[in-house]
Amino acid sequence: MAAVVDCSDDAIITQDLDGIITSWNKTAERLFGYTAKEVVGKPVALLVPPDRSDEEPAILARIRRGERIEHYETVRQRKEGTLLNISITVSPVKDDRAKIIGASQVARDISAQKDSQEALRFMAAIVQSSDDAIITKNLDGIITSWNGSAERLFGYTVAEAIGKPVAMLVPPDRESEEPGILARLRRGERIDHFETLRRHKDGTLLDISLTVSPVKDEHGTVIGASKVARDITHRKRMEHELNQARQSLSAANADLEKRVSERTASLQRAISQMEEFSYSVSHDLRSPIRAMKGYAATLLEDYAHDRMLDDDGRERLGRIVRSGDRMERLINDVLTYSRLARLETFMQPVAVDRLVADIIQQYDNLQPPNAQVFIRHPLQPVLAHEPSLTQVISNLLANGVKFVAPGIQPRVHVWTEACDGHVRLSIQDNGIGIKPEYQNRLFGMFERIHQNKEYEGTGIGLAIVRKAVEKMGGTVGVKSDGMTGSIFWIELDRAPETK
């Protein structure tokens, strides 16, 4: 018996009725960390945590009454202070006259069992609180567990579902699915995110995504299956609505393409008509204007000293000539603007230094003593259509020297600066300026801010500048306080560096 006690897997301890330890086997040493020498003769209470100090007196009281305590689960304390979950069985020890003289305790470590139970409770809580329906069934398709989300999703309570065939959730047109799923489970296969339809208790159909896994026993044999069912009705509805939106968008795109095609054809007709109009303006309008100017100039020349033509007549003929000149300039500007609208702009690097110098050389009104143009070298090269850029710079320089107060020599400054991957070309004058309230309409067609007769113009020059710059992919603007001159600027892409 002593050998059996000493090699037992359980801790076996004896104590007298005062709670003093009288024997202590090897397993007790391993379990509690004390040697027999350290504890024999000591109160068994040294194993009891402070919060359980009332347990030992109660146990001894029951032992004195001859009672046996079986599988009492409690907590005891090891030598180093850690706590153990144990199950104890306590029996009275009697002498040869049947008098109770002590007690024997058999203590078994149930920490692993407690941890396992805690893990199971934790897992059960997770399953029960999951947003997904979690169901288990055996290999005959009979439901064996049913969580709260399954109740909410399918409408059946636990009592209504457990023990019933899972086929009650399957619509008639999907009855072939369950046998196939069970066959795959018997082979140990897992089914992930299988989208299907299932039936609610009230008969409505639900879009769900199923994940089905085999459940195995301790020997690895498949004994059932667990199903995780997620309601994807909202997602399916959104997908349906998205598909409908795509179809509507596709139809709208087709309609838009048709309308664009029709508008493009209409625009092409309008462009063709504009070209015909431009041709008409170029040939049919210029001829009578030139004739009027020619006849008026001839009259002025032939009758310059004739008394038949007085001063008033000569003044009126002069007005006809000047009006003809203005009309011819207007026609030329309209034609220039029209050509820009349909011009093919081939972009290439342009040396702005050279271009500005050539423009100044061509026009007397940009040279001393008529004006002074100061260039802040070097002017950075740009990517542009050179004929269009020539037109732009010519117009801006001409405006810079034209709109100057009487008696003031025009002074124009030209410079460039880098601006976020672009080049800004600025042209500053000492002219009469442009009030801020007029600047937003300055680049429109036929817009003349200064109506004074000394500043002649057609009101198209800056519209030509804007159209040409936009055709080259750039921007144009002006800065002025309306009193001390103006700065006109254009921005174009920087020309790529050459090796």
> Please, is 26 exposed, middle or buried when counting C-beta atoms within 10 Å of its C-beta (0-12, 13-18, 19+)?
middle
Question: Is the torsion defined by CA of 378, 380, 384, 389 positive or negative?
Answer: negative
Single out the residue in 293, 321, 340 at which a domain terminates: 340
**Contact of 455 with 403, CB cutoff 8 Å:** yes
Give the Cα separation of 156 and 369 in Å (integer): 103
The domain that holds 329 is classified in CATH as: 1.10.287
Is the separation of the CB atoms in 175 and 181 below 8 Å?
Answer: no
In a domain, 43, yes or no: yes
For residue 230 the two structure tokens come to 């997620």
- CATH no. for residue 141? 3.30.450.20
Q: Quick one: 218 and 255 in the same domain?
A: no
Angle in degrees, 0-180, between the axes of helices 386-402 and 311-342, rounded to the nearest 10:
150
Q: Mark whether 186 and 310 lie in a shared domain.
A: no
Q: Is residue 117 part of a domain?
A: no
* CB within 8 Å of 483: residues ≥ 6 apart: 433
Cα–Cα distances in angstroms (integers) from residue 198 to residues 157, 177, 460, in the given order:
16, 11, 74
Is 162 found in the same domain as 103?
A: no
**Ramachandran region, residue 425 (left: φ > 0; alpha: ψ -120 to 50; beta: rest):** beta
Rg (CA), the chain: 52
DSSP, collapsed to helix, strand or coil, labels residue 443 as coil
User: In degrees rounded to 5, what are phi and psi of residue 257?
Assistant: -60, -40
pLDDT of residue 443: 73
State the CB neighbour count (10 A cutoff) for residue 355.
19
Residue 440, amino acid: N
Q: What's the rounded Cα separation, in Å, for the pair 392 and 477? A: 13
pLDDT at 391: 87
* Structural domain contains residue 377: yes
- For residue 499, what pLDDT is reported? 47
**Category of 434 on φ-ψ map: left (φ > 0), alpha (ψ -120 to 50) or beta:** beta
Find the CATH number of the domain harbouring 451.
Answer: 3.30.565.10
Q: What pLDDT does 22 receive?
A: 93
Say if residue 489 is in the same domain as residue 350: yes
Give the end of a domain, one of 56, 78, 109: 109
The H or E element spanning position 21 is: strand 21-24
CA distance 431 to 184: 91
d(CA 273, CA 295): 32
Dist CA 395 CA 391 (whole Å):
6
Tokens linked to 34: 């004390």
Asked, for residue 85, whether it belongs to a domain, the answer is: yes
Residues 105 and 50 in one domain: yes
Beta strands in 110-221 (DSSP E): 133-138, 143-146, 191-199, 205-216
Q: Which of 231, 264, 293 is the last residue of a domain?
A: 231
Distance CA 368, CA 454 (A): 21
Residue 376 vs residues 22, 369, 380, 397, 425: alpha-carbon distances, Å: 111, 20, 10, 15, 11
Tell how far CA 365 is from the center of its chain: 57
pTM over 0.75: no
Cα 149 to its chain centre, rounded Å, is 33
Residue 357 and residue 330 in one domain: no
> Do 270 and 300 fall into the same domain?
yes
The answer on 428 and 463 residing in a single domain is yes
Residue with tokens 């305790």: 105
Question: Within 13 Å of residue 459, how many CA atoms lie on the same side as its CB?
Answer: 11
Domain range for 10 is: 2-109
What does each of the 499 residues of the chain score in pLDDT, given as a tens digit?
566 566 677 899 999 999 999 999 999 999 999 999 999 999 999 999 999 999 999 999 999 999 999 989 999 999 999 999 999 999 999 988 889 999 999 999 888 777 766 666 666 666 666 778 888 889 888 999 888 888 999 999 999 999 999 989 999 998 888 888 888 888 888 888 889 999 999 999 999 998 888 888 888 888 888 888 888 888 888 888 888 989 988 888 888 888 888 888 887 777 667 666 665 665 566 677 777 778 778 877 777 676 677 778 778 888 787 777 767 766 666 666 666 666 677 889 999 999 999 999 998 999 999 999 999 999 999 999 898 899 899 989 988 898 888 889 999 999 999 988 899 999 999 988 888 777 777 776 555 555 555 556 556 778 888 888 988 899 999 998 888 889 999 999 999 875 4
Domain annotation covers residue 239: no
Least Cα distance to 495 among 360, 385, 369, 373 occurs for 385
Residue 490: φ, ψ to 5°: -130, 145
**DSSP assigned state of 39:** H
pLDDT for the residue 366: 92
How many domains does one find in the chain?
Answer: 4
- Quickly tell me which residue has 């702005």 as its tokens: 352
Q: Is residue 243 part of a domain?
A: no
The span from the CA of 374 to the CA of 412, in Å, is: 6
- The number of helices, as runs of H, and strands, as runs of E, in the chain is 14, 17
Q: Is 390 among the domain residues?
A: yes
Q: For residues 482 and 372, state if they share a domain.
A: yes
Q: What is the pLDDT of residue 176?
A: 87
